[in-house]
Amino acid sequence: MALLPIAAVAADPVQPKAEEAVKSIAVPIRHITPGIEVLLSDRLESLKGKRVALLTNQTGVDRKGVSNVDLLRAHPAINLVALFSPEHGVSGAAQAGEKVASGIDPKSGLPVHSLYGETKMPTAKMMQGIDIVLVDLQDVGTRFYTYASTLLYMLRAAETSGSEVTVLDRPNPQGGMMIEGPALEPAFASFVGSYAVPVRHGMTFGELAQMFVGEDRLRTRLRVIAMRGWSRDLAPYLAWDLPWVPPSPNMLSPRTAAVYPGTALFEGTNISEGRGSEKPFEYIGGPFIDGAALAERLNAMGLPGVDFKPVSFTPDFSKYAGQHCHGVWVIPTNSKTFQPFRTGIALVKTVHDMYPDKFEFRPGAPSFFDQLAGTDSVRKGILDGKSVSDIERQWQDGLNAFMQVRARYLMYH
């Protein structure tokens, strides 16, 4: 295997742009062939003579960065007739929660049916005349990311329309081994998290699709085009010969995806999760936080595989836009031991405990924090002063039950 230097970056505590110490580590490159390339190389027979739609966005590229739309339209055996887009749109430019209208793709001239606009479930009219829907999206391996809900809704719509769904598989940037967090409880289901999986499920998009069909007993005709070269034990930060295309505007790098299962919990609070800064989800903070004191307390906990450095930042948008915030930079140091969701609970609990009069969970019924966590036991545990270990202990039985279900749908070793 070839070797590639990868940068592990450390921050200046006050001005993170000013100084960054870079340490080079030799990491073997893993050659991964995504599902789109496998399809085009030796699985085209199923598409001949069929009207094909594509559920995708800017992440649907091959190893050279060529768009799947361009690849499919250039092939004489493929009749690509429509596009479907998830949250953030086909280009991925729309911000979180921003509704996207259906329309015409300016580059290809194809109709685009938005599944994050007036409707999230594909309508009968959208599905009319479509024989096969190809699904090619880069997921981030976290339950509270809407692409998995879009996949589930497409599978349900295809059951009604009779269309076949073919998932072109891609790697899980979280890896495929470590499972974390509570399985979603029905009372807290939403489009942000619509299926009873843990926060960090360790499954690929293709594996999730198989589980959705199998466990819901859908009659949808599903095929998964497996990628080549990916394995469950592949470290999340290992260099891949796949370009990282941000799946959403604030998912800037694999490092962002690594911390997201924990730091995204701050979306359910009045603390900034770093949106509008140079490192969304890697930075968390607020105007009233003492970053040095917070970092000191967090580092003293000895959480595995992670360091915390004081940081100051001024968000361009979202919470505290234009205000100087202080907090910590969450820096994973060991992908095999880092537990982002456990780290996220510890972060939220510590900020709550240090600033009980200023920290707030966002109101709602259910609260958005509970929808993210998939349960109200995390929020209640923090308010009741429980330890992180005691909070985690509450969902172990459900996690064990999920592991047994999950095992039936795993495709990779």
Which ranges of 101-239 does DSSP label H, i.e. alpha helix? 124-127, 147-161, 205-216
pLDDT of residue 97: 85
pLDDT of residue 238: 58
pLDDT of residue 94: 85
pLDDT in tens, the chain (413 residues): 332 222 233 333 333 443 333 333 455 678 899 999 999 998 899 899 999 999 999 999 999 999 999 999 999 999 999 999 999 999 988 898 899 999 999 999 999 999 998 899 999 999 999 999 999 999 999 999 999 999 999 999 999 999 999 999 999 999 999 999 999 999 999 999 999 999 999 999 999 999 999 999 999 999 999 999 999 988 765 567 888 999 999 999 999 999 999 999 999 999 999 999 999 999 999 999 999 999 999 999 999 999 999 999 999 999 999 999 999 999 999 988 999 999 999 999 999 999 999 999 999 999 999 999 999 999 999 999 999 999 999 999 999 999 999 999 999 99
pLDDT of residue 223: 98
Q: Are 321 and 277 in contact (CB under 8 A)?
A: no
How many other C-beta atoms lie within 10 A of the C-beta of residue 341? Answer: 26
pLDDT of residue 182: 97
Angle at 244 between CA 241 and CA 250, to 5 degrees: 165
